[in-house]
Structure 1
Amino acid sequence: MATRAVDRRARPRMRPVRPARVVVYGFAAAILIGTGVLMLPLSSRTGAWTNPVDALFTATSAICVTGLTTLDTATHWSGFGQAAILVMIQLGGLGIMIFATLLGLILARRFTVRRRITAIAESSTLDRSDVRGAIRRVALTSLVIEAIVFALLLPRFALAYDHDVWLATWHALFHSVSAFNNAGFALYSDNLIGFAADPWICLPLCAAIILGGLGFPVLHELRRQFSWPRRWSMNTRLVLVVSAALLVVGTIYITAGEWSNPATLGAYSPGERVLIGFFHSVQTRTAGFNSVDIGLMAEHTRIGMDVLMFIGGGPGGTAGGIKVTTFAVLAFVLLAELRGERVVNIFRKQLAPEVMRQALTVALIAVAAVVTGTIALMVIADLGLDAALFESVSAFATVGLTTGITPGLGAPAKLVLVLLMFLGRLGPLTLGTAIALRERKELFEYPKERPAVG
């Protein structure tokens, strides 16, 4: 018995697997595999090998569901290459939703009994013991929404644009998957400029983008308790209210800013201008389709789009950015501070202090990443501030909108954007999780002092 006890103690203890590392390694491996596939002659229309940097850029953009491209998706890639991109988009979108859900389950198990009960009552989204069920629900939700959008797009492509059945089916499938996953890849050289005034194409895509950007926890809670808004969690209320407000503000801002610009909205009728303004307000939620040339927009319009892209969509979904909940938390903290309130209350509930710190940390690190990327592009690619900032925010927030400069960038600048896409897709999620998992109780406190602020 003693020998067995000694042997058991002598065994080396396995280091616990950190969820954030699993996510990072998994996405990095998928990007490398995707790069290898896209480099193959089979993936290009010409049958030639694709440049490794361009293949890496496209694979990263697809897996991170960004939409920035250095090569024309419609003309460079073969049917096999386009199918590979579609698979990467689907895996990237599902992967981030599943990982976000599972990380939420892990965080729930780190709570004390009292906090865990409160969290379950607040979220009402998942059975904490049913991991397989959670994954199944995420996949089923994604496929159902994509199927509905596909069914709406198919007859329009077939009847209004003279596509044969196969081409209409392929385009409807590709764009429905790209839209729900907030990827922004399109099978047309001008993206969706040819459909700018077509609500039968633009609105289904917008609906898919919005639903994908809300996040699975919100969709799941709405499905279960749609008729009881008072039971919705703080997360669901924040995502819905802030998302709706940003969509409205973005539509008004873009439409008003470009109303008389003949190169963008000015060439369309008033109703079509509103449609295009709404469409691009949705795209700034990290989707990346465009129905007018972004490079021809006014600089002040693009600056407003920078802000919308940086905020992004809801947590646990296919959208990027710092997330609307992070933005909302910081806004309520600011409001409480201006009012002189000691605590932050949202929807008649008190916000936990650690959430404020986490939101501030995520936001400041995101700002640092965007600023660093912008400076790097200005130095490496000799870009102006407007173009460099727009491209950096678009990459970090995994949006995919561009002023048109991406294909002409050199390899070093492309690698900067690759790094920004990777950090932007995984950074806020893994950083927030890592902060929460490392939270520990201090055994002592230092004396308090108040430095001058402002």
Structure 2
Amino acid sequence: MITLGTFLLSLPVSSASGVRVPFLNALFTATSATCVTGLAVVDTGTVYSTFGQVVMILLVHTGGIGFMTMATVIALALNKRISLRERLILQEALNHETINGVVRLVKKVILYSLLVELAGAILLAVHFYFSLHLTVGRAVYFGIFHSISMFNNAGFDLMGTVNGPFSGMAPFINDPYINLVTMILIFLGGIGFIVLSDLIDFPKTRKLSLHSKVVLSATLVLIVVGTLVIFAMEFSNPSTLKPLHGGGKFMASMFQSVTTRSGGVSTLDIGSFRQSTQFMLILLMFTGAAPGSTGGGIKITTFVLLLGAVHAMIRGREDVVLFRKRIAKDVVYKAITLTLLSLLLIILFSMLLSVTEHQDFMSILFESTSAFGTTGLSMGLTTHLSPLGKIWIVFLMFFGRIGPLTLIYALSRDRKKDLFNYPEGRIIIG
């Protein structure tokens, strides 16, 4: 998908000026779109033509929903039988508990995605028509593009054609309609299709799975905590929240809290935040969204399992218990392994960027975490990346998008039981 996207975005027809976009910029954009990150070295609205923007949004849609999901839909449309191996891969890709009903879940994923994106497109198009004074066709196009981008947590926007390059969503900072619709789209895309399916079926089943309970409760807690922390830390900052009225301060704080979960759009200048706030955003980006969603990061369930393991250790318990359910030890081990590998990945690429980019370390760490978490937020470093820096970020976006899923799949297959146990040893901890 990235190779195909790079080729298409390199064509003269993809450029608004008719001049080929440099190969490295096309590769960066294709990777960012396919991995639903949102980092951009050039302004989407002014540099790419309508053809290029359509290519980007198709990459975003395929990357957000998942390649295997799209391939399965095409196979079903062609009346092709889904093999056992393909069902197993789908089970891992969608983080489904069993192989039963995985094809049915794929159909739900596509249906729910299209319905949410359609609703978002209509709501946004109507508002863009009246607020930006666009033609009907242009307003509809803007609505579709931004709805797909926000629901898939990509963060690309076309506002550069209206308010200037890289203006983003900042002009809408005091617009409650755009803020609310965008936050809902990001939230629905970030909780995952399994949770979305559970919520839709809830009126009939009157129950939620353990996974859905963990995702929903943890997501709400992180949004609330993030909102309060941003509000408190930036309240008196003249470059961010101070010029806004009381309600505007709270709305902007909530928007930044929601979007750091993998949304990729911002109504405030992240580079103007206080360092304490920026570091808190790094932690939120590292945590990311839910498994089986359009978002990235180590996933919110991994974060909850780590907290559960710490709580169990402090309380002297052997098992991690969530909502009165015991979590298998191998799942906890996977969470710890995934978190450590993710940290090592961010540390490695932050060191590489520190060598090639002459920027302060906070900007580099923020950029690395944003790329790994497929968040798309930046403190302004993206447009100043050197050629080698762009390559580092391309690799980090790629690993961030496929890493957790492929790692879990690799750790859970071909398991062999040890034929013997080693004698127990003791080492001192702490």
> Helix, strand or coil for the counterpart of 1:337?
helix
Q: 2:189 aligns with which of 206, 212, 216?
A: 212
Instruction: Report the Cα distance in structure 2 between the residues aligned to 1:161 and 1:128, rounded to whole angstroms.
Output: 47
After superposition, residues 352-367 of structure 1 pair within 5 angstroms as: 352-367=328-343
Q: CA-to-partner distance for each residue in 1:149-194, whole Å, 9 max, x for gaps?
A: 1121111111122111112111111110000000000112311011
Tell me: CA distance 1:378–1:108, structure 2 relative to 1, closer, same or farther (3 Å).
closer
1:419 aligns with 2:419: no
Q: 1:272 aligns with which of 243, 248, 258?
A: 248
Q: CA-to-partner distance for each residue in 1:181-221, whole Å, 9 max, x for gaps?
A: 00000112311011111111111111011011001111112
CA contact (8 A) 1:381 1:409 kept: yes
1:385 Cα shift? 1.4
Which sections of structure 1, spanning at least 5 residues, go unmatched? 1-29, 111-122
Cross-structure match for 1:368: 344
Instruction: Report the Cα distance in structure 2 between the residues aligned to 1:109 and 1:408, rounded to whole angstroms.
Output: 40
Deviates more, 1:431-440 or 1:85-94: 431-440
Instruction: Kindly report the root-mean-square deviation, in angstroms, between the aligned alpha carbons of the 2 structures.
Output: 2.2
Cross-structure match for 2:80: none
The one-letter amino acid paired with 1:186 is: D
Cross-structure match for 2:3: 32
Instruction: Report the Cα distance in structure 2 between the residues aligned to 1:149 and 1:140, rounded to whole angstroms.
Output: 14
Instruction: Report the Cα distance in structure 2 between the residues aligned to 1:128 and 1:452, rounded to whole angstroms.
Output: 43
CA contact (8 A) 1:100 1:316 kept: no
Instruction: Give the structure with higher Rg (CA).
Output: 1
Q: CA-to-partner distance for each residue in 1:423-442, whole Å, 9 max, x for gaps?
A: 00000111011101133222
Cross-structure match for 1:139: 110
After superposition, residues 141-290 of structure 1 pair within 5 angstroms as: 141-188=112-159, 189=165, 190-226=167-203, 231-290=207-266
The one-letter amino acid paired with 1:199 is: P
Q: 1:341 aligns with which of 306, 317, 339?
A: 317
CA contact (8 A) 1:97 1:215 kept: no
Q: 1:48 aligns with which of 19, 23, 33?
A: 19
> Helix, strand or coil for the counterpart of 2:45?
coil
The one-letter amino acid paired with 2:238 is: P
Which sections of structure 2, spanning at least 5 residues, go unmatched? 73-83, 160-164
After superposition, residues 381-420 of structure 1 pair within 5 angstroms as: 381-420=357-396
Instruction: Report the Cα distance in structure 2 between the residues aligned to 1:204 and 1:108, rounded to whole angstroms.
Output: 30
> Helix, strand or coil for the counterpart of 1:288?
coil
CA contact (8 A) 2:370 2:376 kept: yes
Cross-structure match for 2:77: none
The one-letter amino acid paired with 1:192 is: M
Tell me: CA distance 1:226–1:447, structure 2 relative to 1, closer, same or farther (3 Å).
farther
Instruction: Report the Cα distance in structure 2 between the residues aligned to 1:156 and 1:103, rounded to whole angstroms.
Output: 46
> Helix, strand or coil for the counterpart of 1:267?
coil
Count residues in correspondence.
411
CA contact (8 A) 2:68 2:90 kept: no
Cross-structure match for 2:295: 319
> Helix, strand or coil for the counterpart of 2:398?
helix
> Helix, strand or coil for the counterpart of 2:293?
coil
Instruction: Report the Cα distance in structure 1 between the residues aligned to 2:103 and 2:269, rounded to whole angstroms.
Output: 43
1:95 aligns with 2:77: no
Deviates more, 1:152-161 or 1:237-246: 152-161
1:70 aligns with 2:27: no
Cross-structure match for 2:355: 379
Instruction: Report the Cα distance in structure 1 between the residues aligned to 2:6 and 2:282, rounded to whole angstroms.
Output: 29
CA contact (8 A) 2:30 2:59 kept: yes
TM-score (norm 1): 0.87
1:106 Cα shift? 2.1
Instruction: Report the Cα distance in structure 2 between the residues aligned to 1:453 and 1:381, rounded to whole angstroms.
Output: 38
Deviates more, 1:95-104 or 1:198-207: 95-104
Identity of aligned residues (%): 39
Cross-structure match for 1:58: 29
CA contact (8 A) 1:180 1:209 kept: yes
Cross-structure match for 1:25: none
Q: 2:271 aligns with which of 289, 295, 298?
A: 295
The one-letter amino acid paired with 2:350 is: T
> Helix, strand or coil for the counterpart of 2:46?
coil
The one-letter amino acid paired with 1:55 is: A
Instruction: Report the Cα distance in structure 2 between the residues aligned to 1:312 and 1:109, rounded to whole angstroms.
Output: 21
The one-letter amino acid paired with 2:345 is: A
1:270 Cα shift? 1.0
Q: CA-to-partner distance for each residue in 1:74-120, whole Å, 9 max, x for gaps?
A: 1111111111111111111121683899999528999xxxxxxxxxx
After superposition, residues 424-439 of structure 1 pair within 5 angstroms as: 424-439=400-415
The one-letter amino acid paired with 1:59 is: A
The one-letter amino acid paired with 1:352 is: A
1:288 Cα shift? 0.5
Q: CA-to-partner distance for each residue in 1:6-40, whole Å, 9 max, x for gaps?
A: xxxxxxxxxxxxxxxxxxxxxxxx00000000011
Tell me: CA distance 1:449–1:105, structure 2 relative to 1, closer, same or farther (3 Å).
farther
Instruction: Report the Cα distance in structure 2 between the residues aligned to 1:99 and 1:326, rounded to whole angstroms.
Output: 26
1:106 aligns with 2:88: yes
Tell me: CA distance 1:192–1:109, structure 2 relative to 1, closer, same or farther (3 Å).
closer
TM-score (norm 2): 0.91
CA contact (8 A) 2:91 2:97 kept: no
